[in-house]
């Protein structure tokens, strides 16, 4: 390398070092300000009294209790209605199943779901149930 080129490389290294040192100093100075502002905000948070925290917590708990009571009231009436409708439907299903179980022959074990669907006895059960409940089924 020539003498001129060595000087250029040396100056480049010096300038890069100076820039890095300058950025490091700026970073340290700005960190000092960050720590001071965080410290002040934390001190302000300590000034909140226990009474404020307690009243805020009680307001949240009261709101949650009110909302839960509303949900329970609406779901309770809906569950009672569903239970009344469901019990009559279930009673009909159980009666039909008992009738068919006592009058039908024992079916062989099916090897797949298509064997079960192909069974005429299963389709009879489905058709009889759908006719008592008012539901419609599609035939094969």
- Tell me the domain boundaries of the chain: 104-140
Rounded Cα distance between 100 and 122, Å, is 10
Rounded Cα distance between 27 and 101, Å, is 84
Average pLDDT over residues 1-21: 94
Q: What angle do CA 48, 54, 58 make, to 5 degrees?
A: 140
Which residues 6+ apart lie within 8 Å of 125 measured at CB?
A: 96, 97, 100
Is pLDDT at 46 greater than 90 in this prediction?
no
Rounded Cα distance between 28 and 23, Å, is 9
Give me the pLDDT at residue 108, please.
55
The pLDDT-based confidence of 21 (bands split at 50, 70, 90) is: very high
Average pLDDT over residues 24-28: 91
Is pLDDT at 28 greater than 60 in this prediction?
yes
Tokens of 132: 């008592």
Dump pLDDT digits (tens) for 52-76: 788 888 999 999 989 888 888 877 7
Give me the pLDDT at residue 116, please.
57
pTM: 0.27
Is pLDDT at 137 greater than 70 in this prediction?
no
Tokens of 5: 């080129």
């Amino acid at each position: 390398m020539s003498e001129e080129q060595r000087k250029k490389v040396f100056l480049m290294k010096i300038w890069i070092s100076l820039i890095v040192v300058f950025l490091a100093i700026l970073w340290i100075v700005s960190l000092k300000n960050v720590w001071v502002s965080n410290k002040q905000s934390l001190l302000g948070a300590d000034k909140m009294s226990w009474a404020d925290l307690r009243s805020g917590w009680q307001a949240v708990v009261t709101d949650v209790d009110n909302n839960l009571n509303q949900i329970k009231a609406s779901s309770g009436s809906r569950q009672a209605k569903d239970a009344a409708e469901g019990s009559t439907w279930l009673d009909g299903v159980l009666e039909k199943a008992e009738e068919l179980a006592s009058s039908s022959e024992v079916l062989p074990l099916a090897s797949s779901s298509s064997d079960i669907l192909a069974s005429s006895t299963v389709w009879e059960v489905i058709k009889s149930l759908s006719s008592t409940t008012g539901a419609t089924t599609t035939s094969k």
